[in-house]
Amino acid sequence: MLDLSSNLFSGELPDCWMKFKQLGSLHLENNKFSGRIPKSFGTLLDLRFLHLHNNSFSGPFPAAFKSLASLVFLNLGYNIFTGYIPLWIGYTSQSLGTVILRKNHFIGKIPKSICQLDNLRILDLAINHISGVIPNCIGTFMAMKEIKDLGEDFELDTQSFSSSYSGTVETRTESVIVSWKRKEQRFKKTIRFVKYIDLSSNELSGKIPNGISCLTALGGLDLSKNNLSGYIPLEIGNLTALELLDLSNNHLTGNIPTSLAKLTTLDVMNVSNNILSGEIPISTQLQSFDASLYAGNPGLCGAPLQSCSKDRATSNVPKGDNTSVQNKDDDFVFFLGLYISVVLGFIVGFWGVCGTLVIKASWRHAYFQLLDNIKDKIM
């Protein structure tokens, strides 16, 4: 292990990493390093933990990382990396459990290959310039579906840490820093329980994939400050471990799904500044949040906002739901048929009587004779 973190080191890294081929953990975070990552990083075949965050590293996503097949934890956050997230990222290391590229200058789409990372449990791409849609396969992350002990991935090989001066063997659990619930927090053994996706502050568009509701062990989901549209997935309440949900500052429409009322673990929720409508589902959790976290949705009502009037209260099934669309189609057909029947009935009735009197003289004389007789009787 090599830990040079939290110093005042600056300048570029030397290209001599082929001399550290047994390196398992490298901490260079919280310094003033700059420049590109050396090519010799690709020789660190045993490297499992790489912490480079909070420096000034630049250039494209390092191609040297393509060789790091043992990598478990990768944090490149808070640097000046540019360009695209490479397609090969999903095939480099099948043990990769944490990918943090937060606050850089990455552009382009989220590569679909990232869905191949079955062990991925932390994906943080926040504060970049990533565009396009969220891949539909995002709901396939196996590690975010299962609540199990994954702590062994963060324990370094004890044989690598035998103390020469004491003859004893040290056991070390890797310490990591991640952004959790709006704060930079350090985790050690408890990192095994942290599972979240943060794609906030990008330029993503399109709908929230329904498959995201399959990640039942997900603890945090932050999609705020994008250009997402469409409806909140109906089954989002299946995320029974969810503690943080931020969908604010998008263009989401429809109602807040009633399934959210089932969640008892929510600690932070924000759906403000969208185009949501209807009544906020009733639950102990949803009514406990401040009204500002629902603000900016003119069509939204119910506690903690103002009460819903009868003409504003709508079903808590999103307007885009198939049942709602079918009902609208049925109503349209019914009223169209009604209007046609009324018009045809009037035409047939009117001309059936008046047309006959105009054409047939004998009937016309008989009709007016009948009216004269009725008049004489009345008078």
Q: Residue 366 in contact with residue 373, Cβ under 8 Å?
A: no
For the chain, domain boundaries? 2-321, 327-378
Residue 195 makes CB contacts below 8 A (sequence gap 6+) with: 121, 122, 143, 144, 215, 217, 218, 219, 220, 241
pLDDT attached to residue 334: 62
pLDDT of residue 308: 85
Distance CA 63, CA 268 (A): 37
Instruction: State the CB neighbour count (10 A cutoff) for residue 137.
Output: 15
Contacts of 76 (CB under 8 A, 6+ apart): 52, 53, 57, 100, 101, 104
* C-alpha pair distances (Å), 264 with each of 172, 218, 239, 361: 35, 14, 10, 83
Convert the chain into a string of H (helix), E (strand) and C (coil): CEECCCCCCEECCCCCHHHCCCCCEEECCCCEEEECCCHHHHHCCCCCEEECCCCEEEEECCHHHHHCCCCCEEECCCCEEEEECCCCHHHHCCCCCEEECCCCEEEECCCHHHHHCCCCCEEECCCCEEEEECCHHHHHCHHHCCCCCCHHHHECCHHHHECCCCCCECCCECCEEEEECCEEEEECHHHHHCCEEECCCCEEEECCCHHHHHCCCCCEEECCCCEEEEECCHHHHHCCCCCEEECCCCEEEECCCHHHHHCCCCCEEECCCCEEEEECCCCCCHHHCCHHHCCCCCEEECCCCCCCCCCCCCCCCCCCCHHHHHHHHHHHHHHHHHHHHHHHHHHHHHHHHHHHHHHCHHHHHHHHHHHHHHHHHHC
pLDDT of residue 357: 58
Closest CA to 48 of 29, 23, 12: 23
Rounded to whole angstroms, how far apart are CA atoms 92 and 88? 6
Tokens 């690709």 appear where?
42
d(CA 90, CA 22): 24
Per-residue pLDDT of the chain (379 residues; tens, 9 = 90+): 999 999 999 999 999 999 998 999 999 999 999 999 999 999 999 999 999 999 999 999 999 999 999 999 999 999 999 999 999 998 888 889 999 999 999 999 999 999 999 999 999 999 999 999 999 999 899 999 876 554 445 554 434 444 344 444 444 567 777 777 777 777 777 777 889 999 999 999 999 999 999 999 999 999 999 999 999 999 999 999 999 999 999 999 999 999 999 888 899 999 999 999 999 999 888 999 999 999 999 999 999 999 887 655 444 444 444 444 444 455 565 666 666 777 677 666 666 666 665 666 666 566 666 666 665 666 5
Q: Cα-flanking dihedrals φ and ψ of residue 40, to 5°?
A: -65, -10
Fold of 2-321: 3.80.10
Which two tokens mark 6? 């939290």
pTM of the model: 0.78
> CB–CB of 22/160 below 8 Å?
yes
